[in-house]
Chains A and B, each alone.
Chain A
Amino acid sequence: MHADTSVSGPAFPKTVWRRVELAAAGDQEAIGELYRGYRRPLLTYLLYKLNLPEVQAEELVQDFLTDRLPRCAAKADAEVSKFRNLLLTALVNYARDRMRKDGAACRKPKGGFVSIDSPDVPDVPLRITDTEAELEWTRTVIAETLRRVQNFYNRKGKERYWVAFEKKIIIPVLEGAKPMPLRELAKLGFESPQAVSNALLGAKRKFEQFLRQVVIEYTGHRDEAETEIRQIKNCLSQSTEKTSENLP
Protein backbone atom coordinates (compact mmCIF):
# COMPACT_ATOMS: atom_id res chain seq x y z
CA MET A 1 0.00 0.00 0.00
CA HIS A 2 1.28 3.43 -0.84
CA ALA A 3 -0.67 6.60 -0.34
CA ASP A 4 -1.07 9.07 -3.13
CA THR A 5 -0.87 12.57 -1.74
CA SER A 6 -2.72 14.28 -4.58
CA VAL A 7 -6.11 15.70 -3.66
CA SER A 8 -7.97 14.21 -6.60
CA GLY A 9 -6.84 10.58 -6.58
CA PRO A 10 -8.46 7.68 -4.76
CA ALA A 11 -5.91 7.89 -1.96
CA PHE A 12 -7.28 11.11 -0.57
CA PRO A 13 -7.64 11.96 2.28
CA LYS A 14 -4.07 11.40 3.41
CA THR A 15 -4.96 11.58 7.11
CA VAL A 16 -7.12 8.49 6.65
CA TRP A 17 -4.40 6.64 4.73
CA ARG A 18 -1.87 7.43 7.43
CA ARG A 19 -4.25 5.90 9.94
CA VAL A 20 -4.92 2.95 7.63
CA GLU A 21 -1.19 2.24 7.31
CA LEU A 22 -0.76 2.36 11.05
CA ALA A 23 -3.87 0.24 11.62
CA ALA A 24 -2.58 -2.33 9.12
CA ALA A 25 0.57 -2.55 11.23
CA GLY A 26 -1.55 -3.21 14.31
CA ASP A 27 -1.47 0.27 15.87
CA GLN A 28 -4.39 0.21 18.33
CA GLU A 29 -4.72 3.98 18.47
CA ALA A 30 -5.11 4.18 14.69
CA ILE A 31 -7.62 1.31 14.73
CA GLY A 32 -9.55 3.21 17.41
CA GLU A 33 -9.54 6.42 15.34
CA LEU A 34 -10.80 4.59 12.26
CA TYR A 35 -13.43 2.85 14.38
CA ARG A 36 -14.71 6.15 15.79
CA GLY A 37 -14.58 7.89 12.41
CA TYR A 38 -16.46 5.27 10.38
CA ARG A 39 -18.80 3.67 12.91
CA ARG A 40 -21.63 6.19 12.66
CA PRO A 41 -21.85 6.40 8.83
CA LEU A 42 -21.74 2.60 8.57
CA LEU A 43 -24.48 2.34 11.17
CA THR A 44 -26.58 4.83 9.22
CA TYR A 45 -26.14 2.68 6.10
CA LEU A 46 -27.44 -0.39 7.95
CA LEU A 47 -30.36 1.53 9.42
CA TYR A 48 -31.54 3.40 6.35
CA LYS A 49 -30.34 1.31 3.40
CA LEU A 50 -30.69 -2.20 4.77
CA ASN A 51 -33.48 -1.12 7.10
CA LEU A 52 -32.17 -3.10 10.05
CA PRO A 53 -33.61 -2.50 13.53
CA GLU A 54 -31.37 -0.25 15.63
CA VAL A 55 -30.11 -2.84 18.11
CA GLN A 56 -29.33 -5.34 15.36
CA ALA A 57 -27.55 -2.68 13.28
CA GLU A 58 -25.52 -1.55 16.31
CA GLU A 59 -24.45 -5.12 17.02
CA LEU A 60 -23.61 -5.82 13.39
CA VAL A 61 -21.49 -2.70 12.89
CA GLN A 62 -19.63 -3.30 16.12
CA ASP A 63 -18.90 -6.93 15.21
CA PHE A 64 -17.88 -5.91 11.69
CA LEU A 65 -15.45 -3.23 12.80
CA THR A 66 -13.99 -5.40 15.54
CA ASP A 67 -13.56 -8.42 13.21
CA ARG A 68 -12.72 -6.77 9.92
CA LEU A 69 -11.30 -3.29 10.40
CA PRO A 70 -7.66 -4.41 10.80
CA ARG A 71 -8.08 -6.85 7.89
CA CYS A 72 -9.58 -4.11 5.68
CA ALA A 73 -6.70 -1.81 6.61
CA ALA A 74 -4.21 -4.51 5.62
CA LYS A 75 -5.93 -5.16 2.28
CA ALA A 76 -6.49 -1.48 1.44
CA ASP A 77 -4.81 -0.24 -1.70
CA ALA A 78 -4.83 3.46 -2.38
CA GLU A 79 -4.47 2.79 -6.10
CA VAL A 80 -7.60 0.66 -6.25
CA SER A 81 -10.24 2.27 -4.09
CA LYS A 82 -10.93 4.85 -1.44
CA PHE A 83 -10.79 3.33 2.01
CA ARG A 84 -14.39 4.32 2.73
CA ASN A 85 -15.61 2.52 -0.40
CA LEU A 86 -13.66 -0.57 0.53
CA LEU A 87 -15.05 -0.47 4.06
CA LEU A 88 -18.63 -0.08 2.84
CA THR A 89 -18.23 -2.92 0.35
CA ALA A 90 -16.76 -5.10 3.07
CA LEU A 91 -19.67 -4.21 5.36
CA VAL A 92 -22.18 -5.23 2.68
CA ASN A 93 -20.39 -8.57 2.24
CA TYR A 94 -20.22 -9.04 6.00
CA ALA A 95 -23.91 -8.24 6.50
CA ARG A 96 -24.92 -10.63 3.70
CA ASP A 97 -22.74 -13.44 5.08
CA ARG A 98 -23.98 -12.82 8.59
CA MET A 99 -27.61 -12.98 7.53
CA ARG A 100 -27.03 -16.15 5.54
CA LYS A 101 -25.19 -17.67 8.45
CA ASP A 102 -28.04 -16.86 10.75
CA GLY A 103 -30.16 -18.98 8.45
CA ALA A 104 -32.26 -16.57 6.39
CA ALA A 105 -33.55 -15.07 9.60
CA CYS A 106 -32.14 -12.23 11.59
CA ARG A 107 -32.53 -11.77 15.29
CA LYS A 108 -34.78 -8.92 16.25
CA PRO A 109 -34.45 -7.35 19.71
CA LYS A 110 -38.16 -7.28 20.49
CA GLY A 111 -40.97 -9.23 18.88
CA GLY A 112 -39.09 -12.29 17.68
CA PHE A 113 -37.51 -12.69 14.28
CA VAL A 114 -37.61 -10.92 10.97
CA SER A 115 -37.00 -12.87 7.80
CA ILE A 116 -34.37 -11.64 5.38
CA ASP A 117 -37.09 -12.06 2.75
CA SER A 118 -39.37 -9.67 4.57
CA PRO A 119 -40.34 -6.65 2.46
CA ASP A 120 -39.08 -4.53 5.36
CA VAL A 121 -35.57 -5.86 4.85
CA PRO A 122 -34.25 -5.04 1.37
CA ASP A 123 -31.93 -7.49 -0.32
CA VAL A 124 -28.33 -7.04 0.57
CA PRO A 125 -26.53 -6.48 -2.74
CA LEU A 126 -24.53 -9.49 -3.95
CA ARG A 127 -21.67 -7.40 -5.17
CA ILE A 128 -21.16 -3.68 -5.48
CA THR A 129 -18.74 -1.99 -7.82
CA ASP A 130 -16.46 0.80 -6.66
CA THR A 131 -18.66 3.32 -8.47
CA GLU A 132 -21.71 1.97 -6.66
CA ALA A 133 -19.86 2.06 -3.36
CA GLU A 134 -18.90 5.68 -4.06
CA LEU A 135 -22.55 6.59 -4.64
CA GLU A 136 -23.73 4.57 -1.64
CA TRP A 137 -21.18 6.32 0.54
CA THR A 138 -22.39 9.68 -0.72
CA ARG A 139 -25.97 8.67 0.12
CA THR A 140 -24.81 7.53 3.54
CA VAL A 141 -23.16 10.89 4.25
CA ILE A 142 -26.30 12.77 3.18
CA ALA A 143 -28.55 10.46 5.22
CA GLU A 144 -26.36 10.84 8.30
CA THR A 145 -26.35 14.63 7.83
CA LEU A 146 -30.14 14.74 7.63
CA ARG A 147 -30.43 12.47 10.67
CA ARG A 148 -28.32 14.91 12.66
CA VAL A 149 -30.35 17.92 11.50
CA GLN A 150 -33.57 16.16 12.57
CA ASN A 151 -32.10 15.11 15.93
CA PHE A 152 -30.83 18.63 16.55
CA TYR A 153 -34.29 20.16 16.14
CA ASN A 154 -35.99 17.36 18.08
CA ARG A 155 -33.64 17.87 21.01
CA LYS A 156 -34.30 21.62 20.93
CA GLY A 157 -38.08 21.05 20.91
CA LYS A 158 -38.21 22.67 17.44
CA GLU A 159 -39.63 19.76 15.48
CA ARG A 160 -41.52 22.22 13.28
CA TYR A 161 -38.18 23.50 11.90
CA TRP A 162 -37.34 19.98 10.67
CA VAL A 163 -40.84 19.45 9.28
CA ALA A 164 -40.67 22.77 7.40
CA PHE A 165 -37.25 21.85 5.97
CA GLU A 166 -38.49 18.37 5.06
CA LYS A 167 -41.75 19.49 3.41
CA LYS A 168 -40.46 22.62 1.69
CA ILE A 169 -37.04 21.47 0.52
CA ILE A 170 -35.99 17.83 1.07
CA ILE A 171 -39.05 15.91 -0.16
CA PRO A 172 -39.58 18.16 -3.21
CA VAL A 173 -35.91 17.76 -4.17
CA LEU A 174 -35.62 14.02 -3.51
CA GLU A 175 -39.08 12.84 -4.51
CA GLY A 176 -40.30 15.53 -6.88
CA ALA A 177 -43.27 16.36 -4.64
CA LYS A 178 -44.77 19.86 -4.58
CA PRO A 179 -43.21 22.04 -1.89
CA MET A 180 -45.53 22.69 1.03
CA PRO A 181 -47.03 26.17 0.49
CA LEU A 182 -46.45 29.00 2.93
CA ARG A 183 -50.05 28.82 4.20
CA GLU A 184 -49.55 25.19 5.29
CA LEU A 185 -46.10 25.81 6.70
CA ALA A 186 -47.45 28.66 8.83
CA LYS A 187 -49.87 26.18 10.45
CA LEU A 188 -46.91 24.30 11.93
CA GLY A 189 -46.78 26.98 14.62
CA PHE A 190 -44.69 29.76 13.14
CA GLU A 191 -45.65 33.28 14.17
CA SER A 192 -45.08 34.86 10.76
CA PRO A 193 -43.86 34.14 7.21
CA GLN A 194 -40.57 35.72 8.23
CA ALA A 195 -40.30 33.13 11.01
CA VAL A 196 -40.84 30.34 8.44
CA SER A 197 -38.20 31.92 6.24
CA ASN A 198 -35.82 32.10 9.19
CA ALA A 199 -36.47 28.48 10.10
CA LEU A 200 -35.70 27.29 6.55
CA LEU A 201 -32.60 29.42 6.37
CA GLY A 202 -31.47 28.03 9.73
CA ALA A 203 -32.14 24.44 8.63
CA LYS A 204 -30.11 24.92 5.45
CA ARG A 205 -27.24 26.22 7.53
CA LYS A 206 -27.55 23.28 9.93
CA PHE A 207 -27.41 20.93 6.93
CA GLU A 208 -24.13 22.54 5.82
CA GLN A 209 -22.76 22.49 9.36
CA PHE A 210 -23.61 18.84 10.03
CA LEU A 211 -22.38 17.79 6.59
CA ARG A 212 -18.98 19.18 7.50
CA GLN A 213 -19.12 17.59 10.93
CA VAL A 214 -19.88 14.12 9.47
CA VAL A 215 -17.08 14.37 6.90
CA ILE A 216 -14.53 15.79 9.35
CA GLU A 217 -15.20 12.85 11.68
CA TYR A 218 -14.05 10.28 9.14
CA THR A 219 -11.48 12.30 7.20
CA GLY A 220 -9.96 13.44 10.46
CA HIS A 221 -9.03 16.87 9.13
CA ARG A 222 -10.99 20.06 8.45
CA ASP A 223 -9.16 20.95 5.20
CA GLU A 224 -9.40 17.42 3.88
CA ALA A 225 -13.11 17.47 4.67
CA GLU A 226 -13.59 20.38 2.26
CA THR A 227 -11.90 18.39 -0.52
CA GLU A 228 -13.96 15.33 0.36
CA ILE A 229 -17.17 17.37 0.13
CA ARG A 230 -16.11 18.58 -3.32
CA GLN A 231 -15.43 14.96 -4.34
CA ILE A 232 -18.83 13.90 -3.05
CA LYS A 233 -20.46 16.62 -5.15
CA ASN A 234 -18.37 15.55 -8.15
CA CYS A 235 -19.48 11.96 -7.63
CA LEU A 236 -23.07 13.09 -8.01
CA SER A 237 -22.36 14.76 -11.32
CA GLN A 238 -20.65 11.69 -12.80
CA SER A 239 -22.05 8.49 -14.23
CA THR A 240 -19.03 6.46 -15.34
CA GLU A 241 -18.84 2.88 -14.22
CA LYS A 242 -15.68 1.41 -12.73
CA THR A 243 -15.34 -2.05 -11.25
CA SER A 244 -13.12 -2.63 -8.32
CA GLU A 245 -11.40 -5.96 -7.88
CA ASN A 246 -9.97 -7.76 -4.88
CA LEU A 247 -12.24 -6.16 -2.32
CA PRO A 248 -12.41 -8.09 0.94
Chain B
Amino acid sequence: MSTIHSVFRSDRTCLSKLMNVDKGTKNLWQPVEFGEFWHQQLDTPLEYNLTIRIKEATNTYAGASATSRTPPRTFRELLTGPHPPIELLKLVKDFAKRHAKTEDGRLPEDVASMLYFASIAVALVRCGERISRLNDDKLRKGAEWALDQSWLDEATRLLFVKARELV
Protein backbone atom coordinates (compact mmCIF):
# COMPACT_ATOMS: atom_id res chain seq x y z
CA MET B 1 0.00 0.00 0.00
CA SER B 2 1.37 3.40 -0.96
CA THR B 3 0.95 6.75 0.72
CA ILE B 4 -1.61 7.63 -1.95
CA HIS B 5 -3.74 4.64 -0.89
CA SER B 6 -3.81 6.05 2.63
CA VAL B 7 -5.77 9.08 1.37
CA PHE B 8 -8.77 6.74 1.12
CA ARG B 9 -8.29 5.56 4.70
CA SER B 10 -7.90 9.06 6.17
CA ASP B 11 -10.66 10.95 7.91
CA ARG B 12 -11.88 14.45 7.17
CA THR B 13 -9.68 16.06 9.81
CA CYS B 14 -6.46 14.62 8.37
CA LEU B 15 -7.46 15.41 4.80
CA SER B 16 -8.39 18.94 5.81
CA LYS B 17 -4.96 19.39 7.39
CA LEU B 18 -3.31 18.23 4.18
CA MET B 19 -5.41 20.58 2.07
CA ASN B 20 -4.64 23.48 4.38
CA VAL B 21 -0.98 22.79 5.01
CA ASP B 22 0.75 26.17 5.15
CA LYS B 23 2.42 27.27 1.95
CA GLY B 24 5.65 28.38 3.55
CA THR B 25 8.33 26.88 5.75
CA LYS B 26 7.36 28.59 8.99
CA ASN B 27 6.18 25.49 10.86
CA LEU B 28 8.22 22.96 8.96
CA TRP B 29 11.06 22.51 11.42
CA GLN B 30 11.20 21.70 15.11
CA PRO B 31 13.46 23.65 17.52
CA VAL B 32 15.61 20.52 17.96
CA GLU B 33 16.49 20.81 14.26
CA PHE B 34 17.53 24.46 14.44
CA GLY B 35 21.01 23.59 15.76
CA GLU B 36 21.68 21.43 12.75
CA PHE B 37 20.48 24.18 10.43
CA TRP B 38 22.68 26.67 12.26
CA HIS B 39 25.84 24.57 12.01
CA GLN B 40 25.22 23.87 8.35
CA GLN B 41 24.56 27.55 7.75
CA LEU B 42 27.87 28.51 9.35
CA ASP B 43 29.69 26.15 6.99
CA THR B 44 27.82 27.35 3.91
CA PRO B 45 29.93 29.35 1.44
CA LEU B 46 28.89 33.02 1.52
CA GLU B 47 28.72 32.93 -2.26
CA TYR B 48 25.96 30.29 -2.11
CA ASN B 49 23.53 32.66 -0.38
CA LEU B 50 24.76 36.15 -1.07
CA THR B 51 25.06 36.20 -4.86
CA ILE B 52 21.27 36.29 -5.21
CA ARG B 53 19.69 39.74 -5.31
CA ILE B 54 18.84 40.98 -1.84
CA LYS B 55 16.24 43.71 -2.11
CA GLU B 56 17.23 45.60 1.04
CA ALA B 57 21.00 45.51 0.33
CA THR B 58 22.94 48.55 -0.85
CA ASN B 59 25.91 46.46 -1.98
CA THR B 60 26.48 43.26 -3.94
CA TYR B 61 28.45 40.19 -2.89
CA ALA B 62 31.14 41.02 -5.45
CA GLY B 63 31.34 44.62 -4.22
CA ALA B 64 31.37 43.65 -0.55
CA SER B 65 34.03 40.94 -1.08
CA ALA B 66 36.25 43.35 -2.98
CA THR B 67 36.66 45.44 0.19
CA SER B 68 38.98 42.75 1.58
CA ARG B 69 42.16 41.26 0.12
CA THR B 70 41.35 37.89 1.67
CA PRO B 71 37.57 37.76 2.01
CA PRO B 72 36.14 35.01 4.21
CA ARG B 73 34.75 32.03 2.38
CA THR B 74 32.02 30.82 4.72
CA PHE B 75 29.59 32.33 7.23
CA ARG B 76 31.68 30.79 10.01
CA GLU B 77 34.88 32.44 8.75
CA LEU B 78 33.08 35.79 8.54
CA LEU B 79 31.52 35.57 12.00
CA THR B 80 34.64 34.28 13.77
CA GLY B 81 37.44 36.08 11.88
CA PRO B 82 39.36 38.87 13.68
CA HIS B 83 38.84 41.47 10.91
CA PRO B 84 35.51 40.78 9.21
CA PRO B 85 34.72 43.05 6.22
CA ILE B 86 31.93 45.33 7.38
CA GLU B 87 30.26 45.37 3.95
CA LEU B 88 29.92 41.58 4.04
CA LEU B 89 28.41 41.77 7.53
CA LYS B 90 25.84 44.26 6.25
CA LEU B 91 25.02 41.96 3.36
CA VAL B 92 24.58 38.98 5.72
CA LYS B 93 22.34 41.12 7.96
CA ASP B 94 20.13 42.04 4.98
CA PHE B 95 20.03 38.43 3.75
CA ALA B 96 19.05 37.18 7.21
CA LYS B 97 16.45 39.90 7.73
CA ARG B 98 14.80 38.98 4.45
CA HIS B 99 14.62 35.30 5.40
CA ALA B 100 13.37 36.02 8.90
CA LYS B 101 10.52 38.09 7.49
CA THR B 102 9.36 35.90 4.62
CA GLU B 103 7.11 32.90 5.18
CA ASP B 104 8.77 30.86 2.48
CA GLY B 105 12.35 31.48 3.54
CA ARG B 106 14.74 28.60 3.10
CA LEU B 107 15.96 29.09 6.67
CA PRO B 108 13.76 28.61 9.72
CA GLU B 109 12.79 32.01 11.10
CA ASP B 110 14.77 31.47 14.33
CA VAL B 111 17.95 30.54 12.43
CA ALA B 112 17.60 33.57 10.16
CA SER B 113 17.04 35.78 13.23
CA MET B 114 20.16 34.32 14.85
CA LEU B 115 22.19 35.14 11.75
CA TYR B 116 20.74 38.65 11.73
CA PHE B 117 21.69 39.39 15.34
CA ALA B 118 25.06 37.61 14.97
CA SER B 119 26.09 39.85 12.05
CA ILE B 120 25.14 42.95 14.07
CA ALA B 121 27.00 41.62 17.13
CA VAL B 122 30.18 40.87 15.15
CA ALA B 123 30.15 44.39 13.65
CA LEU B 124 29.75 45.83 17.14
CA VAL B 125 32.31 43.63 18.94
CA ARG B 126 35.06 43.27 16.30
CA CYS B 127 34.64 46.38 14.14
CA GLY B 128 33.21 48.80 16.71
CA GLU B 129 30.44 49.71 14.26
CA ARG B 130 26.67 49.66 14.30
CA ILE B 131 25.20 48.25 11.09
CA SER B 132 21.54 48.40 12.12
CA ARG B 133 19.17 51.08 13.30
CA LEU B 134 18.13 49.02 16.33
CA ASN B 135 18.48 50.93 19.59
CA ASP B 136 20.41 49.59 22.60
CA ASP B 137 17.32 48.13 24.21
CA LYS B 138 16.39 46.14 21.10
CA LEU B 139 19.98 45.00 20.60
CA ARG B 140 20.15 43.83 24.21
CA LYS B 141 16.87 41.99 23.87
CA GLY B 142 18.14 40.40 20.65
CA ALA B 143 21.33 39.24 22.41
CA GLU B 144 19.34 37.87 25.33
CA TRP B 145 17.00 36.02 23.00
CA ALA B 146 20.03 34.52 21.22
CA LEU B 147 21.59 33.44 24.52
CA ASP B 148 18.33 31.71 25.47
CA GLN B 149 18.49 29.39 22.45
CA SER B 150 19.69 25.96 23.53
CA TRP B 151 20.94 25.09 20.03
CA LEU B 152 23.42 27.99 19.82
CA ASP B 153 27.13 27.06 19.52
CA GLU B 154 29.63 28.17 22.15
CA ALA B 155 31.62 30.61 19.97
CA THR B 156 28.51 32.55 18.98
CA ARG B 157 27.29 32.43 22.57
CA LEU B 158 30.48 34.19 23.73
CA LEU B 159 30.03 36.75 20.95
CA PHE B 160 26.56 37.65 22.24
CA VAL B 161 27.83 37.89 25.81
CA LYS B 162 30.40 40.48 24.66
CA ALA B 163 27.85 42.33 22.53
CA ARG B 164 25.45 42.54 25.46
CA GLU B 165 28.18 44.19 27.54
CA LEU B 166 28.62 46.89 24.87
CA VAL B 167 25.00 48.02 24.71
What size tier do the contact residues of chain A reach?
35 or more
Tell me if A182 and B18 are in contact (CB < 8 A): no
Interface size bucket, B side? 35 or more
Instruction: Give the contact stretch, choosing among B33-41, B54-62, B78-86, B141-149.
Output: B33-41
CB distance from A226 to the nearest CB of B (A): 14
Given the interface pairs A174-B7, A193-B36, A201-B25, the reply to whether A142 lies near B15 with Cβ below 8 Å is: yes
CB–CB A233/B16 < 8 A: yes
- Residues A236 and B3 in contact in the complex (CB < 8 Å), given A183-B36, A205-B23: no
Q: How far, in whole Å, are A49 and B20 apart by their CA atoms in the complex?
A: 23
Per the bound structure, the CA–CA distance linking A227 and B89 in Å amounts to 47
Q: Is B6 an interface residue (CB 8 A)?
A: yes
The answer to whether B107 and A48 have CB atoms under 8 Å apart is no
Asked whether B8 lies within 8 Å of A182 as measured between CB atoms, the reply is no
B5 within 8 A of A: yes
A238 neighbours in B (Cβ, 8 Å): 12
Chain A at the B interface: SS class: helix
Contact of B40 among A135, A179, A192 (CB under 8 A): A192
Evaluate contact between B106 and A201: CB separation under 8 angstroms. yes
Contact flags (1/0) for A162-188 with B, using CB distance below 8 Å?
000010111101111001011100000
A204 with B7, Cβ < 8 A, contacts A138-B15, A193-B36, A197-B106 known: no
Q: Nearest Cβ in chain A — how far from B153, in angstroms?
A: 15
| Chain A, 87-106, CB within 8 A of any chain B CB | none
Residues from 1 to 47 in B contacting A, C-beta threshold 8 Å: 2-8, 10, 12-21, 23-25, 28-30, 32-33, 36-37, 40-41, 44
Closest chain B residue, CB of each to CB of A165: B3
Asked if B136 is at the interface of the complex by the 8 Å CB criterion, the answer is: no
Chain A neighbourhood of B107, CB < 8 A: 194, 197
**CB of A208 within 8 Å of the partner chain:** yes
- 5 more contacts with CB within 8 A, not counting A193-B37, A197-B106, are A48-B7, A135-B12, A143-B7, A179-B30, A198-B106
